[in-house]
């Protein structure tokens, strides 16, 4: 049984990748929770650790080249260190995943209906006829017109939006209580993006699932999320309810991201650009504020040596004391 509404409890999670003889953490001491009927958005630039976190929760990291420590607790079971056999029972049935690139996630040699039915074969007692009927029902549920015809087609015969809907159908086929959506609207046009997001919202209302939405699109976050965790350099640097994050952002990285969004009424102003880039895994600073190099006008002594998360108001956490002193670069700043 789930305690209160908590579905997933990630505690002090580290995911390190092997580079030659050493491991470097791409997810570094991350702790998050996911509640029933909640959409938790995880945002940040490419290279911040968002997808690595998702793949770690799903148990899809290569054990030979990764080192994972910490806890991923689902239904009183710690998924870290779980055998592949037991993890296979959880994937799809308890935790579904909508992958970023549907074309590479789908088997090019299997018909669409068979790929949906495959999940049902492993996790349900339905017979072949029932699995086929359920696959068509799922295609209809995700808004695909003429699902009987589409079930007989191959992935390359479908548009990008239709393939994404198929991936969602597979992810929800066993009605898992947790769904991880990794950039579900990437490379889709705006109209299809809106349809996919509406679909996810409808599915959540129907099943009361908890959804982890991984994205770099703050517009998507504002429209869909209940709570937001901002990642930078493998760490959570700010976490807050979505309305609080947008109305009262605190961490310099969060404020910089929000300031980078083009404004409709700012025709004459220059688009804000965050200085520098996300450091590579090997060159990521492991002490001090990881964002400090990108805001060099903020004095070093205004950062913590070992930045921790501070609760600045109920449910609103910010890493490092630099948020108290941050301002955007002005003339005369070094």
Residue 269 has a pLDDT of 66
Residue 103's alpha-carbon distances to 78, 155, 165, 170, 265, in angstroms, are 31, 7, 11, 13, 38
Average pLDDT over the chain reads 92
Residue 194 has a pLDDT of 84
Q: Are 238 and 251 in contact (CB under 8 A)?
A: yes
**pTM (two decimals):** 0.93
Compute the distance between CA of residue 228 and CA of residue 41 in angstroms, rounded to an integer: 5
Indicate whether 75 pLDDT > 80. yes
Parallel/antiparallel/unpaired status of strands 39-43 and 210-215: parallel
Indicate whether 16 pLDDT > 60. yes
SS3 252: helix
Instruction: Catalogue all structural domains in the chain, each as residue range(s) with its CATH number.
Output: 6-94+176-324 (3.40.50.300), 108-174 (no CATH)
**Of residues 231 and 270, more confidently modeled:** 231
Residue 1 has a pLDDT of 43
Q: Please give the structure tokens belonging to residue 117.
A: 């039915």
| pLDDT above 90: percentage of residues in the chain | 77
Residue 280 has a pLDDT of 92
Indicate whether 18 pLDDT > 80. yes
Indicate whether 233 pLDDT > 60. yes
Q: pLDDT of 243-261, one tens digit each?
A: 999 999 999 999 999 998 8
Residue 8 has a pLDDT of 97
Q: pLDDT of 107-140, one tens digit each?
A: 999 999 999 999 999 999 999 999 999 999 999 9
Q: pLDDT of 132-176, one tens digit each?
A: 999 999 999 888 999 999 999 999 999 988 999 999 999 999 999
Radius of gyration of the chain (CA): 21
Indicate whether 4 pLDDT > 70. no
Beta pairing partners, 235 = 232
Indicate whether 307 pLDDT > 50. yes
Indicate whether 2 pLDDT > 60. no
Residue 267 has a pLDDT of 58
Compute the distance between CA of residue 28 and CA of residue 158 in angstroms, rounded to an integer: 39
Residue 264 has a pLDDT of 64
Q: Are 296 and 312 in contact (CB under 8 A)?
A: no
């Amino acid at each position: 049984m789930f305690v209160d509404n908590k579905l997933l409890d990630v505690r002090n999670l580290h995911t390190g990748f092997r580079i030659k003889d050493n491991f470097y953490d791409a997810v570094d001491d991350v702790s998050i929770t996911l509640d029933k009927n909640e959409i938790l958005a995880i945002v940040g630039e490419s290279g911040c650790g968002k997808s690595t976190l998702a793949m770690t929760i799903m148990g899809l990291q290569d054990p030979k080249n990764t080192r994972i420590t910490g806890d991923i607790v689902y239904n009183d079971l710690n998924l870290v260190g779980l055998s592949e056999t037991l993890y296979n029972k959880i994937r799809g049935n308890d935790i579904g995943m909508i992958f970023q690139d549907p074309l590479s996630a789908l088997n090019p040699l299997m018909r669409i209906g068979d790929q949906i039915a495959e999940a049902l074969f492993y996790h349900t007692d339905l017979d072949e006829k029932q699995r086929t009927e359920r696959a068509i029902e799922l295609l209809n549920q995700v808004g695909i017109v003429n699902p009987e015809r589409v079930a007989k087609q191959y992935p390359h015969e479908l548009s990008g939006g239709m393939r994404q809907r198929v991936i969602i159908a597979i992810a929800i086929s066993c009605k898992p209580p947790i769904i991880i959506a990794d950039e579900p609207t990437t490379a889709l046009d705006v109209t299809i993006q809106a349809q996919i997001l509406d679909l996810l919202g409808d599915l959540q209302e129907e099943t009361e699932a908890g959804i982890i939405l991984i994205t770099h699109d703050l517009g998507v976050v504002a429209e869909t999320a209940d709570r937001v965790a901002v990642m930078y350099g493998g760490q959570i640097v700010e976490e807050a309810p979505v309305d609080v994050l947008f109305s009262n952002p605190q961490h310099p990285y969060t404020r910089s991201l929000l300031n980078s969004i083009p404004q409709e009424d700012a025709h004459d102003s220059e688009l804000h650009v965050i200085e520098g880039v996300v450091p590579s895994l090997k060159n990521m600073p492991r002490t001090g504020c990881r964002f400090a190099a990108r805001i060099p006008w903020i004095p070093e002594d205004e950062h913590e040596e070992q930045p921790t998360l501070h609760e600045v108001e109920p449910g609103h956490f910010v890493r490092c004391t630099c948020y108290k002193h941050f301002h955007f670069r002005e003339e005369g700043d070094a």
